[in-house]
């Protein structure tokens, strides 16, 4: 709750308190409202791509007819809010998700009020980024990346929820898979040692690939910690990995480690619910192949390609396996 301290009752003049006139009172009221406005955060949702913008134009209350003009005016709004000291975050306005939201809430999608309610929902549960005055063409890729991460997390959670209890022991299979994924992630970073670790988990999903990333850091003789601002990414990574383990979906994990100015990449394939370390040649092939086109990608100068190491525990094998999808 925001609190605004102020003094009232007018000002002293010649030892006596002179009553404040209506002009001064109005000025103080405006100043107080502005102070409160600076303490009230704002969320602006953007229709990022032309296809989504075309879908929004079917609503008569959507007042824009040109995507470039819309983006320019949105950027102007963001800058205006920031100039007034308002903490502003930006989210992605997805027309398909908006239509689904309105159907669930049983509200008319062709009203400004419905769009406002959807933006409030994005602020509460969706992926947003802090606006710091950067141009929208630099901000939109971050929004799309955040939306994809949120989408992957939700689809993975749905897959785990569908598993239900174990027929023999009654244990929740989704929860058990999450616990195993959490342990596997810790083992991966423990075995890799000190440094900054960027991990990518890719799975073949029923409705398209699932991809999640995690950024973890380990200092010498220090506990494992999540990179600043990356807790949501780590949660999505563990959930996607758990969906691959429990659902026995094919996929893989790639880990890129930066330590003492040296970068090294390792990989594991995920088959039959188990992580299989890859050989050096398989890691090179996975990292130097475009996952979408299958075309070769030039190796990065200075990047060391190493085999995946065996992980302790029942769900590891000796190095062997198919290369995981690279992202």
Q: How far apart are CA 78 and CA 74, in angstroms?
A: 6
Whether 216 and 296 map to the same domain: the answer is yes
Query: 80 with 188, same domain?
Result: no
| Composition of the chain by helix, strand, coil, percent to 5 | 40, 20, 35
The answer to the question of residue 143 being in a domain is no
Task: Kindly report the number of other CB atoms within 10 A of residue 55's CB atom.
Answer: 17
One domain, residues 192 and 79: no
For residue 217, the model assigns a pLDDT of 86
Domain co-membership, 197 together with 97:
no
Does some domain include residue 53? Answer: yes
- Helix/strand/coil (H, E, C) string of 218-272? ECCCCCEEECCCCHHHHHHHHHHHHHHHHHCCCEEEEEEEEECCEEEEEEEEEEC
191 and 272 in a single domain? The answer is yes
Q: Looking at residue 249, what is its pLDDT? A: 79
Residues 191 and 251 in one domain: yes
The answer to whether residues 194 and 124 belong to one domain is no
As for how many domains the chain has, the answer is: 2
CA distances from 121 to 98, 105, 163, 203, 274 (A): 10, 11, 28, 28, 37
Predicted local distance difference test score (pLDDT) of residue 74: 92
Residue 117 lies in a domain: yes
- Residue 319 lies inside a defined structural domain of this protein: no
* 62 and 111 together in one domain: yes
Strands (E), the chain: 11-13, 16-18, 42-46, 88-92, 128-130, 195-203, 210-218, 224-226, 251-259, 262-271, 274-277, 303-305
Tell whether 11 is covered by a domain.
no
Which residues, other chains included, contact 218 with Cβ-Cβ below 8 Å and sequence gap of 6+?
A: 189, 190, 192, 193, 194, 195, 197, 224, 225
For residue 150, being part of any structural domain is answered with no
The pLDDT value recorded for residue 324 is 46
The residue range of the domain holding 255 is 173-305
Q: Which residues, given as ranges, of the chain have pLDDT below 70?
A: 1-40, 125-127, 205-207, 221-230, 291-293, 312-327
- 202 and 263 together in one domain: yes
Instruction: Give the model's pLDDT for residue 209.
Output: 81
- Provide the pLDDT for residue 222: 60
Asked, for residue 207, whether it belongs to a domain, the answer is yes
**Exposure on the CB side of residue 207, measured as CA atoms within 13 A:** 7
Q: What is the pLDDT of residues 155-213, one digit of tens each?
A: 888 888 888 887 778 788 889 899 999 999 988 988 888 899 999 998 886 667 888 88
Residue range 48-80, pLDDT digits in tens: 889 999 999 999 999 899 999 999 999 999 999
Provide the token pair at 315.
Answer: 């769900």
Are 48 and 106 part of one and the same domain?
yes
Please give the Cα distance from 54 to 45 (Å, whole number).
16
Is 166 part of a structural domain of the chain? no
The reply to whether 178 and 297 lie within a common domain is: yes
Of the three residues 134, 164, 192, the one that is the final residue of a domain is 134
Q: Are residues 119 and 181 in the same domain?
A: no
């Amino acid at each position: 709750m925001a609190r605004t301290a102020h003094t009232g009752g007018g000002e002293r003049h010649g030892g006596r308190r002179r009553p404040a006139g209506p002009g001064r009172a109005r000025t103080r009221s405006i100043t107080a409202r502005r102070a409160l406005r600076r303490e009230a955060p704002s969320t602006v949702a953007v229709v990022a791509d032309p296809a989504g913008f075309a879908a929004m134009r079917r609503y008569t209350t959507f007042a824009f007819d040109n995507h470039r003009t819309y983006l320019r005016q949105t950027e102007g709004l963001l800058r205006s809010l920031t100039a007034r000291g308002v903490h502003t975050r930006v989210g992605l306005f997805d027309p398909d998700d908006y239509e689904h939201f309105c159907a669930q809430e049983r509200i008319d999608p062709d009203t400004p009020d419905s769009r406002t309610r959807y933006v409030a929902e994005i602020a509460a549960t969706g992926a947003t980024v802090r606006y710091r005055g950067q141009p929208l063409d630099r901000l939109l890729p971050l929004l799309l990346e955040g939306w994809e991460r949120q989408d992957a997390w939700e689809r993975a959670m749905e897959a785990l929820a569908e598993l239900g209890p174990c027929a023999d022991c009654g244990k929740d299979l989704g929860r058990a898979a999450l616990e195993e994924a959490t342990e596997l992630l810790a083992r991966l970073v423990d075995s890799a040692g000190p440094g900054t670790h960027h991990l990518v988990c890719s799975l073949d999903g029923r409705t398209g690939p699932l991809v999640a990333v995690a950024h973890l850091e380990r200092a010498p003789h220090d506990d494992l910690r999540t990179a600043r601002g990356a807790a949501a990414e780590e949660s999505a990574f563990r959930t996607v990995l758990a969906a691959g383990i429990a659902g026995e979906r094919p996929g893989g994990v790639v880990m890129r480690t930066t330590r003492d100015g040296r970068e090294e990449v390792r990989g594991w394939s995920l088959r039959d619910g188990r992580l299989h370390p890859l050989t050096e040649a398989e890691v090179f092939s996975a990292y130097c192949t475009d996952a979408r086109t299958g075309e070769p990608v030039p190796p990065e100068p200075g990047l060391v390609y190493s085999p995946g190491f065996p992980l302790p525990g029942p769900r590891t094998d000796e190095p062997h396996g198919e290369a995981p999808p690279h992202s």
